[in-house]
Amino acid sequence: MRHWWVNQNQTYRQEISGGYMWSPKVSKNGRLNPFYEFMREVAPGDLVFSFADTLIKAVGIATSPCYDCPKPPEFGLAGKVWGQSGWRVDVRWLELKNQIKPAQHMTTIAMYLPEKYSPLQPSGAGLQSVYLTHVPDSLASELINLIGSEASHARGMAQSWVSDVTAPDAPALAQAEWEQDLAERIEASVGLTVTEKRQVILARRGQGKFRERVARIEHACRITGVNRPEHLIASHCKPWRDCESNDERLDGENGLLLTPTVDHLFDRGFISFEDNGDVLVSPVAHRESLKRMGIEVVGRVNVGAFSEGQRRYLEFHREAVFLEARVKA
């Protein structure tokens, strides 16, 4: 279990009632923001302290890894400068009865604040520039002691909450709704023929012309070596929902042929590839599960180099899908 601190002044009510955290992917100037990048390394079972209005008002347990998701409509005018595509982590929140004010406890917690990416100023006031940041275990323990039994209970329930297999797959549902909205816009477009619309929408599921074009380049799953067509999925490197044009959605170089398990891992950002073919494994991926799926998690695995076009799309995958922060907490 890791511990995190999220500043939710603008969107506390929406995120707590909705059961999530959401951030843009980059700052309004398009630059890398470490406090958004850290979203990519939250893992199910991690504990989060929610800070708003000078108080730690809630604690939560992450119940999903980070995933690509549009800005929540309930934000309204809040964060109007934020991009429409961002990172979401589902969280089971517990609003606290004993809401503590860190500024009143700085004599005991100041020594535990990290030198880099601290959530608080020396006075105990929050930092407006911070959204999500890592909390050292020592600071987390002190905060839990100050909050009391409510925080201890949440931490003790972490594994049972994460293991609730009756819960729906929120990431898949959210992305399916997002893609369905895009598909409806394509259907309503007057600039495409019926046949063109059909091919673009089929590409969403790795079918039609997109699959044919991928199969001209790729002939087997890069990870497993399976080459039987009936066992392979044409998977987008730059996701269908993120493509800037229908040409990108249908580009064969924007795809790999993968077995269903590997497709799931690639689509959700648990694995990716370097340009030279080295396999990348996300730090939040569950190692034992990956091993059972046939993914080597120790040592270097290389699946062969990619074409120039594939490298362009894989760069997007590493930057916008793969679950690894480009800065270190």
Q: Residue 22: which domain range?
A: 3-167
User: Looking at the structure, do residues 192 and 287 belong to the same domain, yes or no?
Assistant: yes
User: Looking at the structure, do residues 62 and 24 belong to the same domain, yes or no?
Assistant: yes
Q: Which pTM does this prediction carry?
A: 0.87
User: Looking at the structure, do residues 204 and 104 belong to the same domain, yes or no?
Assistant: no
User: Looking at the structure, do residues 128 and 179 belong to the same domain, yes or no?
Assistant: no
Q: Where are the alpha helices (DSSP H) in 170-242?
A: 170-188, 194-203, 208-215
d(CA 192, CA 194) in angstroms, rounded, equals 7
pLDDT value for 168: 61
Closest CA to 265 of 317, 187, 210: 317
Residue 69 falls within a domain, yes or no?
A: yes
User: Looking at the structure, do residues 285 and 154 belong to the same domain, yes or no?
Assistant: no
Domain-terminating residue out of 111, 133, 167: 167
User: Looking at the structure, do residues 239 and 92 belong to the same domain, yes or no?
Assistant: no
CA atoms within 13 A on the CB side of 117: 18
Positions of the chain with pLDDT under 50:
none
Residue 259 falls within a domain, yes or no?
A: yes
Q: Are 5 and 132 in contact (CB under 8 A)?
A: yes
List of residues 6+ apart from 239 with CB closer than 8 A: 68, 267, 321
Domain-terminating residue out of 167, 192, 208: 167
User: Looking at the structure, do residues 220 and 298 belong to the same domain, yes or no?
Assistant: yes
Residue 329 falls within a domain, yes or no?
A: no
In three-state secondary structure terms, 176 is: helix
User: Looking at the structure, do residues 186 and 82 belong to the same domain, yes or no?
Assistant: no
Burial status of residue 115 (CB atoms within 10 A of its CB: 0-12, 13-18, 19 or more): exposed
Residue 325 falls within a domain, yes or no?
A: no
Q: Are 210 and 252 in contact (CB under 8 A)?
A: yes
pLDDT value for 171: 79
User: Looking at the structure, do residues 260 and 248 belong to the same domain, yes or no?
Assistant: yes
User: Looking at the structure, do residues 294 and 182 belong to the same domain, yes or no?
Assistant: yes
pLDDT tens column, 272-301: 999 999 999 999 999 999 988 888 888 889
pLDDT value for 19: 93
pLDDT value for 79: 61
User: Looking at the structure, do residues 176 and 37 belong to the same domain, yes or no?
Assistant: no
Assign residue 156 the CATH number of its domain.
Answer: 3.10.590.10
Total domains in the fold of the chain: 2
Cβ–Cβ contacts within 10 Å for residue 216, how many?
9
Measured in whole angstroms, the distance separating CA 13 from the mean position of its chain's CA atoms is 21
User: Looking at the structure, do residues 144 and 257 belong to the same domain, yes or no?
Assistant: no
